[in-house]
Amino acid sequence: MSSLKWWEHAVIYQIYPRSFQDSNSDGIGDLNGIISRLKYIADLGVDAIWISPFFMSPQHDFGYDVSNYCDINPEYGNLSDFDQLIEKTHELGLRLMIDIVPAHCSYLHPWFEESRKSKDNSKSDWFHWVDPKPDGCPPNNWLSFFGGPAWSWEPRRQQYYLHNFLPEQPNLNHANQEVQEELNNVARFWFDRGVDGFRLDAVHTINGDCEPYKDNLADPNFTLGPLPQDKQPFFRQLHDVAQLNQPVIQKFSEAYRRIADEYEGDRFLMGEVNGDEGNAMTVSKTFSEPGRLHATYNFDLLEWTGLSVSEIKGAIANAIEAFNGSGRLCFAFSNHDVPRSASRQLSPLGITLDKQDDLQLLLLQLETSLIGSSCIYQGEELGLSDVTNIQFGEMKDPWGLNFYPEFLGRDTCRTPMVWEKNKPMGGFTLANEAWLPISELHMEKAGLDMAKSEGSIYNKFSSFLKWRRKQPAMISSNKMSELSGGPSEIIFDRESETQILRCKFDFGLVKATFEEVTHGTS
Q: Which residues are catalytic?
A: 201, 262
Alpha carbons 444 and 61: distance in angstroms, whole number: 30
Find how far residue 493's CA is from the centre of its chain. Answer: 27
**What residues contact residue 262 under an 8 Å CB cut-off, 6+ apart?**
none
Point out which residues pair with 197 in neighbouring strands.
Answer: 97, 268
Q: Crossing angle, helix 177-192 and helix 249-261, to 10 degrees?
A: 30
Q: How far is CA 296 from the centre of its chain?
A: 10
DSSP string across 340-357: -HHHHTTTTTT--GGGHH
**Taking Cα atoms as reference points, which of 96, 45, 92, 89 lies closest to residue 475?**
45
The β-bridge partners of 154 are: 159
Q: Strand 129-130: give its sheet, edge to edge.
A: 129-130, 159-162, 151-154
Residue 329, classed as helix, strand or coil, is strand
- Asked whether 96 and 89 are in contact (CB, 8 A), the reply is yes
CA distances from 346 to 279, 331, 390, 486, 510 (A): 28, 19, 21, 19, 11
CB atoms within 10 A of CB 399: 22
For residues 26, 29, 32, 33, the Cα torsion angle rounded to the nearest 10 degrees is: 110
Could you write out the DSSP letters of every residue in 238-287? Answer: E-TTTTSS-TTHHHHHHHHHHHHHTSSS--EEEEE---STT-HHHHHHHH
